[in-house]
Amino acid sequence: MSQFENETIQKIYDGMVAIENDAVLSAVDTALSDGLNVLDVIDVLRQGLKVVGDDFDKMIRFLPELILAADLMQEAMKKIEPELEKQDITEGPSATIVLANIQGDIHDIGRNILGAVLKAAGFTVYDLGHDMKATAIIDKAIAYDADLIGLSSLLTTSLPFAEEVIKQLGDRDLRDKFKVVMGGGAVTPEYCEEVGADAYGKDAGSAVNVLQGLL
């Protein structure tokens, strides 16, 4: 059964769910040459990858499949990123942001995409990488004179470390210096409100507006 109106988008989704590299990569080529919206292509890849993750959670699929699906997503991103860089989605203000996955979390695909989209939107992005401690994130934000701190968390077990960033900013009398935005599967708008983050970003596309709204 088709979920998507566009046949190529459907192929990307089906291929990602089935972890069929050739099918996905050739459909991504078609999508790009047909001029489909790059953010839509990224989003359908994400939706397919989420199905693999959900199956992993239900113990229908296992870690090797999760790794293969993640590798496929990254292969697809290698094709998409140059297109993303070519796009000029600059509208409204931009600023300097440091991005990191918080301590314990190595899921960096979403953070990489976010960084690429923000760059295309004119932001200066310092990507600090994954598994970053709160203290180091704040130190780098100071060093780069950032306006924003973006924290990505896909693991519920790592969430306390996101909260730790807010706490340490308060302890160091820096809370007003940086706007803190959080995203990733483990984060919800309610969580952001509870811990006192300035904003929540559902995906890379909407993050641009969310961040600009904070500036």
Residue 212's closest CA among 118, 85, 126, 100? 118
The pair phi, psi for residue 18, each rounded to 5°, is -85, 0
Query: Of 18 and 173, which has the nearer Cβ to ligand B12?
Result: 18
Q: Interface with ligand B12 includes 152 (CB under 6 A)?
A: yes
Query: Of 27 and 165, which has the nearer Cβ to ligand B12?
Result: 165
Instruction: Fill in the per-residue mask, 86 to 105: x = in contact with ligand B12 (CB under 6 A), - = not in contact.
Output: ------------------xx
**Residues 27-56, interacting with ligand B12 (CB under 6 A):** 46, 49-50, 52-54, 56
Q: Which amino acid is at 2?
A: S
Smallest distance from ligand B12 to CB 101, Å? 8
Taking the C-alpha atoms of residue 63 and residue 74, their distance in angstroms, rounded to an integer, is 16
Q: Interface with ligand B12 includes 18 (CB under 6 A)?
A: no
Smallest distance from ligand B12 to CB 137, Å? 12
Integer-rounded Cα radius of gyration of the chain: 18
Among 15, 48, 115, 183, binds ligand B12 (CB under 6 A): 183
Residues binding ligand B12 (CB under 6 A): 46, 49-50, 52-54, 56-57, 63, 66-67, 70, 104-111, 113-114, 150-152, 154-157, 181-186, 201, 203-204, 207
